[in-house]
A and B are shown apart, each in its own frame.
Chain A
Amino acid sequence: ILNVEQSPQSLHVQEGDSTNFTCSFPSSNFYALHWYRWETAKSPEALFVMTLNGDEKKKGRISATLNTKEGYSYLYIKGSQPEDSATYLCAFPPMNYGGSQGNLIFGKGTKLSVKP
């Protein structure tokens, strides 16, 4: 069974703190790793799609790294702000019949709360 594990499940930080969380995924047959940001009562929004081992992507104060050999990715938020409060999901597309069909398997997410 293909699985994506995210830790921690939830995180409470103060405004201005930097934080990071982890996504673990199967390292065999790697194709891509997705990160999404999901605010309460809204729909998930894409942050990054990462495909290469050693990839590092950045969007403002949020960055992510990827290690495909050991099967993990880190998401970092520098100087957290209350508007960063959301659930952060990672997902990967399983390889079926020698290729990806595009569907994603999601982790359960890390819920971040940033106190002012």
Chain B
Amino acid sequence: NAGVTQTPKFRILKIGQSMTLQCAQDMNHNYMYWYRQDPGMGLKLIYYSVGAGITDKGEVPNGYNVSRSTTEDFPLRLELAAPSQTSVYFCASSYVRGQDTQYFGPGTRLTVL
């Protein structure tokens, strides 16, 4: 199993550009999550999904959109990139909610200039 994979690993965007961060898992997990890591702030939840077709906002959803058309994939969309979105983005998944380990992808480092 590849586990949780994320692409790209690194990306530099100009202000106002758009991009999609890809996330896929091959563990047949229903639950998937997007976090961002800001220095000194730990991990903050952006969006999460409890199954295909069902998504919900986390703590910091502004400026992002998600979709979940399949169990495997959970892309994160940035529509109008802003410098405040410079961060490291982690995707994670779990099989059972709440009491189950979350498995994290390797992260995407995004810089918005």
Binding site for B on A (CB under 8 A): 31-32, 34, 42-46, 49, 51, 89, 91, 93, 99-109
Contact = CB atoms under 8 A, between A and B. Distances in A.
Interface stretch (B12-20, B43-51, B73-81): B43-51
B56 A101 contact: yes
A43 B42 contact: no
Interface in B85-101: 90, 94, 96-101
Contacts, number: 66
A93 B97 contact: yes
Given A43-B106, A108-B40, A101 B48 contact: yes
Contact of A43 (B44, B90, B98, B101): B90
A99 B31 CA distance: 14
Given A43-B107, A108-B41, A102 B94 contact: yes
A102 B104 contact: no
30 contacts: A31-B98, A32-B99, A42-B106, A43-B90, A43-B107, A44-B43, A44-B104, A46-B101, A49-B99, A49-B101, A51-B99, A93-B98, A93-B99, A99-B97, A100-B98, A100-B99, A101-B48, A101-B98, A102-B31, A102-B48, A102-B94, A103-B48, A103-B58, A104-B33, A104-B102, A105-B45, A106-B42, A106-B44, A107-B42, A108-B42
